[in-house]
Structures are given as C-alpha cells and as structure tokens.
Amino acid sequence: MIAVEPFTEQVVFQRPRAMTGAPTTYCPGCMHGVAHRLVAEAIDELGIRERAILVAPVGCSVFAYNYFDIDSVVAAHGRAPAMATGLKRVQPDKIVFTYQGDGDLASIGIAEILHAAGRGENLTVIFVNNAVYGMTGGQMAPTTLPGMKTTSSPLGRDTRTMGHPIKMCELLSQLDGAAFIARRSLHSPAEIRKAKKAIVQAFKTQIEGRGFSMVELLASCPTNWDMKPVDALKWIETHMVPIYPLGDYKTRVES
C-alpha cells in the first residue's frame, strides 16, 4: 500500500492589515486600488499602522478612508498638506501622510504643497497623477499632457493658450525643505515593485525625521481617457513617461 502524504495548504496571499475588506467602488481599470495596496503594504512592513494618520482631500482620493484600516481625516480640496502639518506638529510621534490626486495637489492645492515642502514639514505625500480631474468628469488638469483631449479641452491641450504641464517632482525637488522626492509608475508589475520601494523610502524619511517626502505615481484613468484598461496602461508608458520621467529627484541622507 502506497502512503499518501496529507494535503496541506499554504497561504500565498493575504490582505494587508492596514487595509479594510471593503469592495472597491473605483471605476474598472482605475489604479487607486493598486496605490492603496502599496501604501498599506509599506505601513504593515514598517510596523506603523497604530501610528499612521491618513489625510485625504476632495477628489477620487477622498474614498481612501473606506479602504485603509488606520486613523483618517478628510481635508478641504487641496488643503491636505495644511491639515497634515497641524496633525504632525501637535502629534510628532505619529506618521502622517496625505493621499492626493493631481487636480487637487497641483491646482487648488499647489500653494499648500509648495509651502509644506519649503518648510520641510516632516510628513509624507502620496501623489497620484492621472493627468485629469477624475471625479468631476475628466476636465483638463495642471498635469494634462500637451495635445491631450479632455472634456474641457476637446481639441487637445494647446500649450500656446493653455500652458504646459506642471511637473511637481521637478518643482519640489528644488526646495531646501524637501528630503525625498521620487516619481514612479503603476503601468507594469516591474514598475509597481519599484513604486513600493519608493513609498517605503518616503515613510522611512519621515520616521527618521529627515523632512518632507513625496512619491508621485503615474496612473491611468480609463473612464475619462475613454480607453480600455489595457490600452491605458500602454498609454502611460508611451505618452506619460516621456513627459514625466521616472526616477529619484531628490534624496537627502541627513536631516
């Protein structure tokens, strides 16, 4: 008689503790879910879940509090860095981070983010750039690419009359208060792994008290781009990355 080894199961996947089990309400192909997962994994790996505070403003990012099992607050449109500043200053032992979209951070909130970085506030920013206003109907954002069609630029963004895209990593990296500024993309597994490492580094920057940190994540918005999700991923690679080059824009070793 042949002995049969007992069947055993091995866990190969589990939800990060920093995430809830709430089903997603994001559009098909939206990359906010991927970004959430990376942030949650970083929080778990660093052991900061009980200390973390999320600040999410208006926009698609406002739904983040449904998916993170950590303390969270909602800020007015563009004002997440200001609220995060207050929270960090009165509770310096907490790990405070904002989760913002490009229409929020680079438009109505650009003064807030510039001055938070300029002051060297010891907080972390996760910046999701999909080049449009996602929640309100796909209008042109400060990050919209030249020639890109949106609901408010149906013929394409004309830089002669509508200006050029604002490149936040390039801009913030010039400020003395910025300690870690990086841009990554979510269009492929390889790039997603690199994004995770950058997010971990951004949180470490805050934990070590080195000052302001931000990770920009290039992401797709298939609904407002009027593309299939797979095509949108390719579009990030072929159109967004040339305009928004990936890499570390500033890394300060000491505070």
Q: How far is CA 30 from the centre of its chain?
A: 13
Structure tokens belonging to residue 213: 């940190």
For residue 57, give the nearest of 121, 123, 102 by alpha carbon.
Answer: 102
User: Does residue 83 sit within a domain?
Assistant: yes
Mean pLDDT to the nearest integer, 123-140: 93
User: Does residue 3 sit within a domain?
Assistant: no
Q: How far is CA 47 from the centre of its chain?
A: 20
Domain range enclosing 152 = 32-251
163 backbone φψ class: left, alpha, beta (φ>0; ψ -120 to 50) = left
Q: Find the CATH number of the domain harbouring 91.
A: 3.40.50.970
User: Does residue 238 sit within a domain?
Assistant: yes
Mean pLDDT to the nearest integer, 32-54: 97
User: Does residue 148 sit within a domain?
Assistant: yes
Q: What is the pTM of this model?
A: 0.94
Q: Which residues pair with 132 in a beta bridge?
A: 140
User: Does residue 21 sit within a domain?
Assistant: no
Q: Phi and psi dihedrals of 70, rounded to 5? A: -145, 170
- Report the pLDDT value the prediction gives residue 255, as an integer from 0 to 100: 60
Amino acid in position 125? V
Mean pLDDT to the nearest integer, 91-105: 96
For residue 35, give the nearest of 72, 61, 62 by alpha carbon.
Answer: 61
Buried-state track 73-95, b at ≥16 Cβ within 10 A, e below 16: eebeebbbbbbbbebbeeeeebb
* pLDDT tens per residue across span 145-182: 999 999 999 999 999 999 999 999 999 999 999 999 99
Q: Are strands 132-133 and 139-140 parallel, antiparallel or unpaired?
A: antiparallel
Q: How far is CA 217 from the centre of its chain?
A: 5
User: Does residue 11 sit within a domain?
Assistant: no
| DSSP at 105 | I
User: Does residue 199 sit within a domain?
Assistant: yes
- Report the pLDDT value the prediction gives residue 5, as an integer from 0 to 100: 72
- Report the pLDDT value the prediction gives residue 11, as an integer from 0 to 100: 85
pLDDT over 90 (residue 8): no
At 170, is the secondary structure helix, strand, or coil? helix
Mean pLDDT to the nearest integer, 66-92: 97
For residue 249, give the nearest of 210, 188, 202 by alpha carbon.
Answer: 202
Q: How confident is the model at residue 143 (pLDDT cuts 50, 70, 90)?
A: very high
Q: Give the rounded percent of residues in the chain with a pLDDT score beyond 70.
A: 98
Q: Which residues pair with 166 in a beta bridge?
A: none
- Report the pLDDT value the prediction gives residue 49, as an integer from 0 to 100: 97
User: Does residue 48 sit within a domain?
Assistant: yes
Q: How confident is the model at residue 183 (pLDDT cuts 50, 70, 90)?
A: very high
Segment (H or E) for 241? helix 241-243
Mean pLDDT to the nearest integer, 227-238: 97
The upper half-sphere exposure of residue 248, i.e. CA atoms within 13 Å in the direction of its Cβ, equals: 14
The C-alpha atoms of residue 102 and residue 86 are separated, in whole angstroms, by 22
Number of domains composing the chain:
1
* pLDDT tens per residue across span 74-84: 999 999 999 99
pLDDT over 90 (residue 1): no
Q: What is the mean pLDDT of the chain?
A: 95
